[in-house]
C-alpha cells in the first residue's frame, strides 16, 4: 500500500473460499483484518463457494460440507465432505476457465496442491488458500483468526456485506475493470474470485486492488 495512504480501520471478515476481489481489497487496505471462525455457518455464501468466469459466463464452485445442521455450527467446526470428487472437479473448472489466461501456468503449480490437499475443516482450507494467494500477490495483510464471536465489533463489519446474497452497496469497493479471458463474449464481470484477478493480471493484481478500494469510504 502507498505509505502516504490514510490508515484504514480494522475489518471483520468471514472465512471465504477463494474469496472475491472485494474481500482482498479489504485485506489490502485495512490495518488489521479479523477472520471470524466462531460465527454460525451461513449457507449459500462465499464461505464455501467462489464465482469464476467460465466460457459460459459466471460459474459457482461450491465446496461440499458435512450436513450436521451446519446453520447451528461454528464455522471453525465445519467439516469438508469428500463427496463427488469435488477437488478434482474444481481444478478442472479452473483449468477450463483460465488455461488461456496470461498467468495461469505461472501460478497453477502453487495453487493446485493447496486445493487438492485433504483438509478436514473448511476454515483450514480457506486459510491455506488465502495465505497462498497473498504470497503470490506479494500482499502482506495483518490477519488474525478470532478467538470468540463478537456481534458488534469495534471495526468495519464485513461478515454479511461480502456475500452473494447481499444486495447492499459496498461503499468501500469500486471495481476497476481489468482484462478477462471471456470479456469479449460476456463483458466485464466484477467481483469474481481472486483466482480470476490473479490468473488474468498477475503482479498487476495489486494495482487493481488498490484502485478498486474507495479509501475515503472506509
Mind listing the pLDDT tens digit for each residue in 61-91? 999 999 766 668 999 999 999 888 999 999 9
Name the nearest CA neighbour of 27 among 127, 109, 122: 127
pLDDT digits (tens, 9 = 90+) for 99-149: 999 999 999 999 999 999 999 999 999 999 999 999 999 999 999 999 999
| Coil, helix or strand at residue 213 | strand
- pLDDT at residue 67 in the model: 75
* 9-47: b (≥16 Cβ within 10 Å) or e: ebbbbbbbbbbbbbbbbbbbbbeebbbbbebebbeebbb
pLDDT higher than 60, residue 182: yes
Predicted TM-score (pTM) of this structure: 0.92
Amino acid at each position: 500500500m502507498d505509505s502516504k495512504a490514510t490508515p484504514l480501520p480494522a475489518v471483520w471478515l468471514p472465512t471465504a473460499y477463494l474469496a472475491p476481489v472485494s474481500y482482498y481489497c479489504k485485506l489490502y487496505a485495512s490495518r488489521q483484518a479479523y477472520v471470524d471462525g466462531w460465527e454460525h455457518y451461513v449457507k449459500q455464501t462465499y464461505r464455501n463457494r467462489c464465482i469464476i468466469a467460465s466460457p459460459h459466463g459466471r460459474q459457482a464452485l461450491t465446496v461440499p460440507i458435512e450436513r450436521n445442521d451446519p446453520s447451528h455450527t461454528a464455522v471453525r467446526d465445519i467439516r469438508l465432505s469428500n463427496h463427488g470428487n469435488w477437488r478434482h472437479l474444481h481444478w478442472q473448472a479452473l483449468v477450463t476457465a483460465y488455461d488461456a489466461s496470461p498467468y495461469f501456468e505461472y501460478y497453477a503449480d502453487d495453487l493446485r496442491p493447496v486445493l487438492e490437499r485433504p483438509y478436514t475443516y473448511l476454515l483450514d482450507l480457506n486459510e491455506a488458500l488465502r495465505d497462498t494467494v497473498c504470497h503470490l500477490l506479494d500482499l502482506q495483510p495483518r490477519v488474525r483468526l478470532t478467538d470468540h464471536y463478537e456481534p458488534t465489533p469495534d471495526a468495519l463489519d464485513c461478515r454479511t456485506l461480502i456475500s452473494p446474497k447481499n444486495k447492499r452497496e459496498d461503499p468501500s469497493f469500486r471495481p476497476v475493470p481489468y482484462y478477462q479471458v471471456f470479456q469479449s463474449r460476456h463483458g466485464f464481470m466484477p467481483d469474481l474470485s481472486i483466482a480470476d484477478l490473479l490468473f488474468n493480471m498477475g503482479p498487476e493484481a495489486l494495482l487493481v486492488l488498490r484502485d478498486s478500494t474507495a479509501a475515503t469510504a472506509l
